[in-house]
Structure 1
Amino acid sequence: MTVWIHRIRSWAWSIGIAFFLSLLISTFVLQPTRVLGHSMEPTLKDHSRILIAKWTRSLGEEPAYGDIVVIDSRIERKRSLLDDLSDYPLFQWIAGSGSSDVFWVKRVVGKAGDVIEIRDHHVYRNGIELNEPYLKEQMATSSQGQTITVPEGYIYVMGDNRNHSKDSRAIGVVPIGHIMGKKL
């Protein structure tokens, strides 16, 4: 009987260490995720699987122009370490949480200090039209004439399928702390 108790403890210890390591890696280093929706087409398809580098967030790195990032779209609230831990897929599965719809995959178009302007079906950054060969189609005029200066500590993001993307045009600029990671 004591042999079985020893084996069970050994297995429990191994499973506990594996769980803890996977939690750390998924929260601070790398995390696989799935693209939900068509807002990044043609670059990323609906239900595509991507790997995001979370160490960029952990180290406080700011994304570059054109980087594809995963953001937490709930910009009206401040994120905490508890949010990072509760976003762990196993915890969401146990809680039956459907919060994955708040995480959006978008492209970085503007950074702090940039003036983003949408006119003539194109995006301009600091007065210069962006060359965006990755776009699915020409942008409709619904956001025509929109101009915004990106404040310090924020980014401006847009989907590649501009006519079917909920992005900074709808929610505004995104705090750097809401960047979950960068697509590898």
Structure 2
Amino acid sequence: MKELFSWGKTIVFSLAIFIVISIFVFQPYTVNGSSMEPTFIGTDPYDEEQKGDRVFVSKSSYKLFGEPKAGDIIVIDSRTYKPRTLVDELKEHPLVAIFKESPDNYKWIKRVIGEPGDRLELKQGTLYRNGEELNEDYIFEGMDGSFEAITVPEDHVFVLGDNRNHSGDSRMIGTIPYENIVGKVMVRYFPFNKLNLF
């Protein structure tokens, strides 16, 4: 009985450590949809064999090591009208997610294009930041359309998907408050042949 109690304490302690780490430090994330192709391949609901890239998201990078920079790949909470709370973190925990019927579709993976104070403009398919044309060798294809110049507010970022013509992003929901950044993508760990640091 004493040994069983000891094992129980170890399991509870291990679970507690796992919960704390995944809420405040690192959390796995599965890419869904096609908005970040070709950088990331997302789960395809119509193709059971396409499971989607898996990444680890650092939830402490910006809290400890500075602010988001242009080019960073981040996971955001697209509900920009709603500040994130500890309750959100608990609801999204992998142990809780096991019991959910559907994934959290409000969490999106995107690329930071504009930092606070940056002026962004899309003219005839070409994106400009502070008057300079961006050289974006990571995008899937040229971007259709245009949008009026926007200056990114303080404590916000402007994000786009790499698959520009098939992405919901800041063109739709506006700039992203820092508090709605879930974390920074640090590593792709699956599929194993695409292991990569970001």
**What is the distance in 2 between the residues matched to 1:110 and 1:35?**
22
Q: How large is the RMSD of aligned CA atoms in angstroms?
A: 1.5
Give the alignment of 1:1-184 within 5 angstroms. Answer: 4=1, 6-46=2-42, 47-59=52-64, 61-94=66-99, 96=100, 98-141=102-145, 144-184=146-186
Q: Normalized per residue, which structure has more helix?
A: 1
Runs of 4+ in 1 over 4 A off after TM superposition: none
SS of structure 2 residue aligned to 1:163: helix
Larger radius of gyration: 1
Unmatched segments (≥5 aa) in structure 2:
43-51, 187-198
Unmatched segments (≥5 aa) in structure 1:
none
The CA deviation at 1:132 is 0.3
**What is the distance in 2 between the residues matched to 1:181 and 1:58?**
9
The verdict on how the C-alpha distance between 1:57 and 1:97 changes in structure 2, with shifts beyond 3 A counting, is: farther
**What is the distance in 2 between the residues matched to 1:92 and 1:61?**
30
The CA deviation at 1:7 is 2.9
Report if aligned partners of 2:62, 2:68 keep a CA contact under 8 Å in 1: no
Alpha-carbon displacement from aligned partner over 1:27-84 (angstroms, at most 9, x marks no partner): 1111121110111111111110111111114427311110100001111001112222
**What is the distance in 2 between the residues matched to 1:79 and 1:57?**
15
What TM-score, normalized to structure 1? 0.90
State the match for 2:48 in structure 1: none
**What is the distance in 1 between the residues matched to 2:77 and 2:102?**
13
**What is the distance in 2 between the residues matched to 1:169 and 1:153?**
18
**What is the distance in 1 between the residues matched to 2:178 and 2:169?**
15
State the match for 2:194 in structure 1: none
Q: How many matched pairs? A: 177
Structure 1 residue identity aligned to 2:86: L
What TM-score, normalized to structure 2? 0.84
